[in-house]
Amino acid sequence: MAFSFFAQGVAFALLVTRIPAIQDRYGISDGLLPVFLAAVPILAGVGSVCTEHVVKRVPPSRVLRWSQPVVLLSLLAVGGGDGLWEIGFALAAFGLAVGALDASMNMLGVSLQHAYGRSIMLGFHAAYSLGGILGASLAWAGAHWDLALFVSYLPVAAVLLPAALIASRWYVDGGGAVADEEPAEGRTGGGSAGFKLLLPLCLVMAVAYIGDSTVANWSAKYLQDVLGSSEQLATVPYNVYMVTTLLGRAAGDLGVRRFGAVAVVRVGAVVAAAGFAVVAGAPGAWVGMLGFTLLGFGLCVIVPQTFAAAGRLFPGAADSAVARLNIFNYVGFLVGSPLVGALGDAWSYRGAMLVPMVLMLVTLLYARSFAPGPSRYGDGHERPRTADVGRGSNGV
């Protein structure tokens, strides 16, 4: 399972970090570029919605097994086309497949966490961060040596695609581990009542991705234009952010097991808010770098724990809850960057950084949604249970 998160991190980083090269290759105007970029998360949301219905008939492991190669082939198509219709088709395929991949991947992660009876979701997302670091590094190398996009993407697809297919033989759905717990009253996840219970987690997910997209899209510009750094130094904050998310997630499961999910999420939200406050008030580039470092340590724990909380809240309908929650990943991504840009242009970029800070503090009101259910794990308690995870689902 960790490999699927890793491969997804590599593929996504290779796409988003080479957007200027993609724009140049296809001659996409500045006015048209936001349309192409917005289409990817919108279609990913569609893919996530479709996955919620598909997994009622097909195990999530099979969705993951075939959506990951589509993502990698779509990435290769992004680098190999010539006309606008080709990049449009490639990005549409990438978006739909990413939605299915993200949803099914986190469904399996949540079910495995139920099976193991202890927090392991942060470890999976740490693998994603590691993949993101590798993908960004490969993208930098491709740009540094002026490699064509297809030449940059081909070795990655050639290695990751067969590796993903081989690794998929050991994916485990773990549905029985979830189903053997008696759902709490009103927590089946069905209908409008179930969705209302999920709304606090949806809000937290959207806010987390508003913060994440702010760092991804505005950290370099902020450091250079507002804090007066050099162009070279302005490229560093996002790399630092990715490294700190990796470090925080690598150790985060231990924190959840020791102190509980509620405490870890609260600390993460406070640290992230402090990071935005430091960025907003930074007198210079190096203090701004400290703020982005704090953001990495704060934000890194929130998304994995939000998926895990959905699984605990809806033990009888975890797959549907994860698929619906995953949509707000893309909502936050769509809202975050335009929100900061609009506020920065109309007001100031320092003031714009205070908005995600306030939103992070608001999420503290919903921290109790991360409290454990009957399974007990995630609140300083481990269930004395060993899961059989040595076989692939349905013999594949």
Using DSSP, state whether 27 is helix, strand or coil.
coil
Helix (H, G, I), strand (E, B) or coil at 173: coil
Q: What is the dihedral of CA 173, 389, 383, 365, to 10 degrees?
A: -40
Backbone angles phi, psi at 378, to 5 degrees: 90, 5
Are residue 164 and residue 234 in the same domain, yes or no? no
Cα 292 to chain centroid distance, Å, stands at 18
In a domain, 387, yes or no: no
Structure-token pair, residue 321: 């809850």
- Percent of the chain scoring above 90 in pLDDT: 65
Residue 301 sits in the same domain as residue 247: yes
Residue 208, in any domain of the structure: yes
pLDDT band at 70; cut points 50, 70, 90: very high
Do 88 and 1 belong to one domain? yes
| Band of pLDDT at residue 283, cut at 50, 70 and 90 | very high
In a shared domain, residues 176 and 34? yes
Mind listing the pLDDT tens digit for each residue in 2-47? 999 999 999 998 998 888 889 889 999 878 988 888 899 999 999 9
| Tens digit of each residue's pLDDT (9 = 90 or more) over 295-349 | 999 999 999 999 999 998 888 889 999 999 999 999 999 998 889 988 988 999 9
The pLDDT of residue 194: 66
In a domain, 214, yes or no: yes
Residues 136 and 269 in one domain: no
Given 180, 195, 213, which residue is the final one in a domain? 180
Please indicate, yes or no, whether residues 48 and 123 belong to a single structural domain of this protein.
yes
Domain tally, the chain: 2
Does the pLDDT of residue 380 top 80, yes or no? no
Instruction: Quote the domain boundaries for residue 285.
Output: 184-380
What's the pTM value of the predicted model, to 2 decimals? 0.86
Q: Is the pLDDT of residue 129 over 80?
A: yes
Q: How many whole angstroms from its chain centre is CA 127?
A: 11
pLDDT for res 354: 96
Torsion of Cα atoms, 151 then 155 then 156 then 161, to 10°? 120
* pLDDT for the residue 192: 52
User: What separation in angstroms does the CA of 152 have from each of 8, 22, 231, 353?
Assistant: 16, 12, 24, 34
Answer whether residue 137 shows pLDDT above 60.
yes
Q: Are 109 and 150 members of one domain? A: yes
User: Does residue 46 lie in a domain region?
Assistant: yes
Q: Are residues 261 and 162 in the same domain?
A: no
Is it the case that residue 377 has pLDDT exceeding 80?
Answer: no
Of 197-201, 260-264, 370-374, the least confident: 370-374
- For CA atoms 172, 106, 134, 77, the dihedral sign is positive
CATH number for the domain that contains residue 288: 1.20.1250.20
Q: Return d(Cα 71, Cα 380) in angstroms, integer.
A: 37
* Residue 196 covered by a domain: yes
In which band, very low, low, confident or very high, does the pLDDT at 373 lie, cut at 50, 70 and 90? low
How far is 314 from 311, CA to CA, in rounded Å? 5
Residues contacting residue 159 through CB under 8 Å, at least 6 positions apart: none
